[in-house]
Amino acid sequence: MTQSSTPTPLSYKDAGVDIDAGDALVERIKPLAKKTMREGVLAGIGGFGALFEVPKRYKEPVLVSGTDGVGTKLKLAFEWNMHDTVGIDLVAMSVNDVLVQGAEPLFFLDYFACGKLDVDTAAAVIGGIAKGCELSGCALIGGETAEMPGMYPTGEYDLAGFAVGAVEKSKILTGADVRPGDVVLGLASHGVHSNGFSLVRKCIERAEGAGALPDTLDGKPFKQAVMEPTRLYVKNVLAALAAHPIKALAHITGGGLLENIPRVLPEGMAAHLKKGSWPQTELFAWLQKTAGIDDIEMNRTFNNGIGMVVVVAAANAEATAATLRASGESVHSIGVIAAQGSGASVVVA
C-alpha cells in the first residue's frame, strides 16, 4: 500500500506574484495621484471603479476618449534604465489625441503589466504618469498593476493609457470648415516623442556597430535627447482655442506629417507644406543620415520636428501664433491649404 504524502504548500508569492509589493506600490502612488485631483473627481484610486462628474459648466458635454501606449521606446527605457519619463509619454499620446477634437482632458487611467513587480521601477513610471496628468490638467483617478510571471522577460513591462475628455457639442473640432488659403501652423516637438522607435533603435545599433554614436544632440546627452518625453500641448492649445477660431488640429504621431494631417482635412482639401519652413534638429538630421532615408520617409515615419498642427484662417494666423508663442510654444508657419485636385493630400515642397 502506497502511503500518500502531503504536498509542500504553495503561496501566490511562490508562484511569482507578490501581493505585498503591489500594496506597497499603491501606497507609493496615492500621494502622486492626489496632486492631480481636479473638479469632478468623486472617488479615485483604491476602489473598484473611479467616479467622475462632468463639470457643470458644460451645457452640452460630449465625451471624447483616447487610448495608446508607448511602444518600442520602452525597450530603450529597459536597456538604459530610464523609467521616469515614459509615463509622461503615455499620458501625452492619449491627451494630445483627445485635444485634437477640441476637448479638455478630464481624467486618465493607466495599465502597468510586468512579469515581476519591481516597486521602485513601477513607482518611477507611475510618477511620470502623474506628472503628465498634472501638466495636462487631468486627474489620475485609477489604473491597474498586473504582475504576470512568465508573460514578460525579467526587467521589462508594458504600458497602456486611457484618457477621457469633454467638449461642448457646438465646439467640436471636425475640420469641416477648412478651406483653400487657410494657414498651417506647426508647433515644435520635443524630439521623437513616442513613434518610430523601431527605426530609432536600428539607427542606434548601426551607429554603435560603426563606433559613431554621438555624445550629444541638440545640446543634450545622447540618451536624454532620444528619450525626451512627448510634449504635452493641452494647456497652451486649449488657451488658444478659447481665444481664436481654430479650424482643425492634428497630433503628429505614427505616420508623421504625411498621414496625420489628412485625418482632419475635408474631402478635396490638401496641405501644401513648405520645405525648410521649420528647422530640422540635430536629432532628426542624425536619424535621417544614419538611416539613409529621404525626406518623404522622414515625414512619414517621424514627426520630424512638428508635434502638433494647427489650421486657421489666414486672417487669424498671426494672432493665433502670437498667443501660442506667448504661452511657450515654438510656432512655425509651415504651409497652406489648397484644393487637392489629383495630387497627394499632403505635399512637402
List pLDDT tens digits, range 201-260.
999 999 999 988 999 999 999 999 999 999 999 999 999 999 999 999 999 999 999 999
Contact indicator for 233, 187 with CB cutoff of 8 Å: yes
**pLDDT classification of 18: cutoffs 50, 70, 90:** low
Contact indicator for 97, 160 with CB cutoff of 8 Å: no
Sequence-distant (≥ 6) Cβ neighbours of residue 111 within 8 angstroms: 143, 144, 146, 159, 160, 161, 162
pLDDT of residue 34: 84
The CATH number assigned to the domain holding 85 equals 3.30.1330.10
SS3 content of the chain, % helix, strand, coil (to 5): 35, 25, 40
β-partners of residue 216 are 221
> In which residue are the cell numbers 506628472 written?
131
**pLDDT classification of 171: cutoffs 50, 70, 90:** very high
* Same domain for 234 and 154: no
E strands, the chain, in order = 41-43, 51-52, 61-68, 104-114, 139-147, 157-168, 183-188, 216-217, 220-221, 248-251, 269-273, 306-312, 331-339, 346-348
pLDDT of residue 21: 75
pLDDT of residue 3: 59
Is the pLDDT higher at 35 or at 127? 127
For the residues 262-269, what does the mean pLDDT come to?
Answer: 96
Of the CA atoms within 13 Å of residue 242, those in its CB half-sphere come to 7
In a domain, 7, yes or no: no
* Same domain for 342 and 199: yes
Torsion angle of alpha carbons 191, 204, 287, 124, nearest 10°? -10
Residue after which a domain boundary falls, among 171, 204, 219 = 171
Sign for the pseudo-dihedral over CA of 20, 21, 22, 26: positive
* Same domain for 137 and 200: no
For the residues 338-345, what does the mean pLDDT come to?
Answer: 91
The CATH number assigned to the domain holding 263 equals 3.90.650.10
Res. 284: pLDDT tops 60: yes
* Same domain for 279 and 330: yes
* Same domain for 220 and 144: no
At residue 304, φ and ψ (nearest 5 deg) are 55, 30
Residue after which a domain boundary falls, among 171, 194, 215 = 171
Contact indicator for 337, 273 with CB cutoff of 8 Å: no
In a domain, 191, yes or no: yes
Structural domain including 195 reads 183-348
* Same domain for 190 and 336: yes
Into how many domains does the chain fold?
2
Q: Taking the CB of residue 327, how many other CB atoms lie within 10 A of it? A: 14
- From residue 288, alpha-carbon distances to 199, 204, 284, 301 in Å are 10, 12, 6, 11
pTM comes to 0.93
* Same domain for 166 and 193: no
Question: Which grid coordinates are listed for 60?
Answer: 452640452
* Same domain for 274 and 131: no
pLDDT of residue 30: 81
For the residues 84-99, what does the mean pLDDT come to?
Answer: 98
- From residue 40, alpha-carbon distances to 44, 50, 176, 194 in Å are 11, 11, 31, 30
In a domain, 4, yes or no: no
Length of the chain as a residue count: 349
